[in-house]
Structure 1
Amino acid sequence: MSLSQITRKFLLICFFFLLWYIVSSFYFEQKELLSDQNEETLAKVHLAPPLTLSNTTVTTITDDVNNNNPLNELNKKYCGKPTCKFLFVYYIGEQETKANLHFRSFSQLAEKLNRIMVLTNVGSSRIGTCTNFPFDFYYNTNLLQKEFPNVLFKSENDFIFWLKERDQIKKINNNDNKVIPPLSILHSSIKLHNNTFSEETNFDKHKCISKFEPLMNTKDPNNSRVKYTRLFIRTTDLRTGKSRVKSSELLTKFFTVDEEILLVNGKVIYPLFPQTMPVIPYSDHILNEAQKIKDKLSSSYIGIHWRLESSIPELLPECVQGLIKTLNKIMEEEGIKNIYLATDYPLLSSRSQSSTFKEITNYHHDAIRTLNETFKINTWVSLGGLEQLRKNDKYNKELSGSGIQGILDKLVCVNSNYFISGPKGCSRSSSFTRAIADKRSNRIKNKDSGLLNIIDRWEIPL
């Protein structure tokens, strides 16, 4: 082969190599550009993490997710910050007087944990999600907020709206659990125990949580990631303010968690924190009803709290005679003519005003009949209390049992000039009675209060 032929062949090889290089370079450049275009598309819908091209990290997507994550925006709308953390004490195992105390304790816990406190529903003298009325049916939420200025409160309806919007966003972004992950929930039961402060994982779910399904389906791992704990607190750790210092610190530490929702089923007797907060103020519409009744009772009246449920039926004939004797003495000595009776005896129907008072005997009927035949006895029913609610059928169950009228009775007795309750055997010294006495004890310090005593017990005649 001649030198010229070798040269031409070499040049031809170089030409094809150069052509291959140009085409290849164009192909890889187009491929890289397409990757950038895909990256921009992914950034808009927040579906992919940043990719690395030519040893360079593309950060546009991460920045966009941080700034415009739809869950963050929802949380800012409802909670004022990118993350919503709720404390939802959905069940408190006490009637209103003690439930009022325990809700305050859990509000203190919400403040310590920097969590939003859900204003659980109320009804039938309870605070619990099983009931039918919003929190402000019983309580003044504006004054509650003033008592806890560092706690953000949301109603159950607000909580449901948040769940709904979160669920809608999740459906739109259903291919990316990093953007809208399942709900994270710590479901805890708190109970008193005679032994040490401890945790157990065995847990019984409360049926009323099902009302939030399917938005908060605790059985579906795609909907909710749930942890269950059962927490026991020694009774000795809650009996005094001093003993509650350590236990409240331990409780706060235990519940310092990242879960969005802290669901609590609380059955405790004593406050959880050293400081006992003031009673949650009642709604204006109940206060107005109490004032109307006070006005109808004229200048002065005797308030009686007679809880018949805990009485000994066979002793009731003597009990009522002792009450009559005591009333005559007070009316003569103090010049008081009007009497107001707060009782669990049936007033609107054949059922008692207490859900636990089921066995009403002739002894009970005869005692109330004797009292009515001796004096003009006024009650919230006879004085037209809660008249507007009584016109609406949806409040029938509430008014026929232990409910809003119990709060009304409490307020009327607190304002009575003279207050009496039954002795052992005739009645029971309940937290309801003690709450009235405590309030009167504070008021009687004011010389203009018009209160003549804090509380007296009538005696059974010998």
Structure 2
Amino acid sequence: MFTYQRLRLALLSLVLVSITGLIYRWHSTNDSPLFPLHSTTQQNQKSVFQPASYDRNDPRIAKLLENIDLKYCGGPCRFMLPVFIMEQESKAQMHLRQLAFMAGMLNRTIVLPNVGGSRLGACLDHDFTFYYSNTWAEENQEHFQHIPLRNFTSWMKERKAVGFPVTSQTFHVHLSADHKQIGETDNCFAPLMDFTQWHEKSIYLHDSGNIRRRKKYQRILYEFFAGKEEEENDNEFKVEDDNDVPEVMSVYYDRRFPFIQNPASEKPIPYNERITDIADKLSTELSPYLAVHWRTERAEPADALLPCAESLGDLIKTRAEQLGTKPTFFLLTDYPHLFDQSFVDKTVSDNTTETQNYEGEAGFMPVSASFSPNSLTIYHHQAIQYLYTHFQITVTSLETEVMSKEENNIKPPGNWTVLPISKDLAGHDSGVLGIIDKLMAIRADLFIAGKPGVCARRSSFTGRIVDDRIHRRIEELKENTQYWMNEEDVERTNTDTIEEWTDYSQKGSGGMKNIIEYFNL
């Protein structure tokens, strides 16, 4: 009898060891993404899992789930996952700030999304820190809590491994019912989630540039996400401690303007230190320099691009005379940064106004993701040809792209200097170029841009540069002990007045001479 009991005990021990080994092996082989996050394969938004055969209310199961949550969020875990955010980096990060502060109001933790190609979203190629510094989320802990995407992924995998996939509900925030939604990606984490308990929700709000009209949107979107109406005469935001809510809000977000009323949400997310370091290095090497941002995509009328280029040329010559120096001309543009001069010269000499598809032709690929090669016209080529004929132009490009063009014997103009951004820093990601260009413009002695609606399209990219240059000017005023305004006066100074500020009498390099100046017809 004693021998029989020992045998049973030995067999039970063997079973427990085997189960432990299987769990360990699962964890050790499942640290990588479930599938490539950049995959274009259509993923099923519905759950892909076997229903748990355990009772969630069983104290032992409840304790197991509690311990997993405790490990990742202190428990119980309630997350907001930005699956997809419309628009490119300058505005996309503003939208992320809106979602992060909203997550805080809902007592949820924001998942810091991946980044790539000037976009933000859970299913992109690079970690959040590839573009941004960790300091932003850490410095805003009084407003919201955050979790890195890799930790969020591990949490979901552990939950699925014990038979209880995390519950999720999909939320769509759109401009209007008749607005065409473009480019939304599938939720690449859907196989780790259980969507069966909640149906998808959508909200449509007409957007407006008028701040007063948007004041009510914070309340509207809060109630949309919370799923509860505000109690009468209660002015406080509340989320009930209710387990009957999805653990993850999977959010698709398409807006244009901010809605959060907290001023802290207006502060941009600082970029990764390795990116700001290279911008500092380049700006020191180029100084003194002027930065010109020219967004030519869908500029109307397109035939005004060449006269605008001539106007820009006249302005640069005038400012160089006033400064008593010849500053480096650093160009930020959506026109291709790497191209073959002979192809442009021939296209211009042929004088055809027909729209062509230049993709694959002598390296013609616009820098902006929204600027398709077949949108390039002869007017774009004429304008850029004028600039490189009359000025020495400096642009940035990915080191990998420069090497590729050299291998294909593509020769840019002699007056076209390309600064290669190392593969170690940027890889193949063009979004890093946009960030470096932006930082270079913020640091420039002079900043010039095309007049919106005349020589260029209105751009949030330009607006971000202007905001940072205004802040830089305010800091200069604070540091100037001879300046008569105190700190509160400086903060209240009308930004339009600061924006118009110029001082071309400053002869030294490295000092900001203006906020912005527009070239016009």
Q: 1:316 to 1:92 in 2, by over 3 A?
A: same
Asked whether the 8 Å contact 1:420–1:457 carries over to 2, the reply is yes
Shift, 1:193, TM fit: 3.7
Question: Alignment length, in residue pairs?
Answer: 368
Q: 1:169 to 1:187 in 2, by over 3 A?
A: same
SS in 1 for 2:396: coil
Q: 1:425 to 1:150 in 2, by over 3 A?
A: closer
Matched, 1:230 2:202: yes
Q: Which amino acid aligns with 2:280?
A: Q
- Tell me the equivalent position of 1:455: 516
- Tell me the equivalent position of 2:355: none
SS in 2 for 1:185: strand
Q: 1:370 to 1:149 in 2, by over 3 A?
A: same
Match of 1:347 among 313, 331, 337: 337
Structure 1: distance between partners of 2:260 and 2:101: 8
Matched, 1:279 2:268: yes
Structure 2: distance between partners of 1:330 and 1:206: 45
Give CA-to-partner distance per residue, 1:375-414, whole Å, 9 cap, x none. 2111123463522348x8xx33x23xxx221111111101
Shift, 1:108, TM fit: 0.5
Matched, 1:256 2:226: yes
Q: 1:336 to 1:166 in 2, by over 3 A?
A: farther
Which stretch shows the higher mean deviation, 117-126 or 141-150? 141-150
Is there any run of 5+ residues in structure 1 with no aligned partner, and where? 1-45, 51-60, 171-179, 196-202
TM-score normalised by L of structure 1: 0.73
Shift, 1:334, TM fit: 1.5
Matched, 1:417 2:445: yes
Whichever structure has more helix as a proportion of its residues is: 1
Match of 1:131 among 106, 116, 124: 124
Which stretch shows the higher mean deviation, 160-169 or 123-132? 123-132
Question: Percent identical across equivalent pairs?
Answer: 30
Asked whether the 8 Å contact 1:86–1:260 carries over to 2, the reply is yes
Structure 1: distance between partners of 2:424 and 2:377: 30
Match of 1:388 among 399, 418, 423: 423
**TM alignment of 1:419-438, pairs within 5 A:** 419-423=447-451, 424-438=453-467
Q: 1:206 to 1:331 in 2, by over 3 A?
A: closer
Shift, 1:419, TM fit: 0.8
SS in 2 for 1:379: strand
Asked whether the 8 Å contact 1:302–1:336 carries over to 2, the reply is no
Give CA-to-partner distance per residue, 1:197-240, whole Å, 9 cap, x none. xxxxxx9995421x22422264xx4xxx332111123436x832
Match of 2:254 among 267, 278, 288: 267
Match of 1:183 among 156, 166, 179: 166
SS in 2 for 1:161: helix
Shift, 1:157, TM fit: 1.9
Match of 2:113 among 102, 115, 120: 120
Shift, 1:188, TM fit: 0.9
Indicate the structure (1 or 2) with the bigger Cα radius of gyration.
1
Q: Which amino acid aligns with 1:304?
A: V
Q: 1:454 to 1:186 in 2, by over 3 A?
A: same
- Tell me the equivalent position of 1:25: none
Give CA-to-partner distance per residue, 1:418-438, whole Å, 9 cap, x none. 111112332112111111112
Structure 2: distance between partners of 1:49 and 1:131: 34
Q: 1:166 to 1:356 in 2, by over 3 A?
A: same
TM-score normalised by L of structure 2: 0.65
Give CA-to-partner distance per residue, 1:26-59, whole Å, 9 cap, x none. xxxxxxxxxxxxxxxxxxxx96799xxxxxxxxx
- Tell me the equivalent position of 1:307: 295
Give CA-to-partner distance per residue, 1:341-397, whole Å, 9 cap, x none. 11111114420101222222333223222212212111123463522348x8xx33x
CA-atom RMSD in angstroms? 2.8
Shift, 1:271, TM fit: 1.1
Give CA-to-partner distance per residue, 1:227-272, whole Å, 9 cap, x none. 2111123436x832x5545432342233236210111111111212
- Tell me the equivalent position of 2:104: 111
Give CA-to-partner distance per residue, 1:57-100, whole Å, 9 cap, x none. xxxx74x565xx1111000001112x111101211111111111
Is there any run of 5+ residues in structure 2 with no aligned partner, and where? 1-52, 228-244, 339-362, 398-416, 481-509
Matched, 1:362 2:368: no
Structure 1: distance between partners of 2:142 and 2:70: 19
Shift, 1:444, TM fit: 1.6
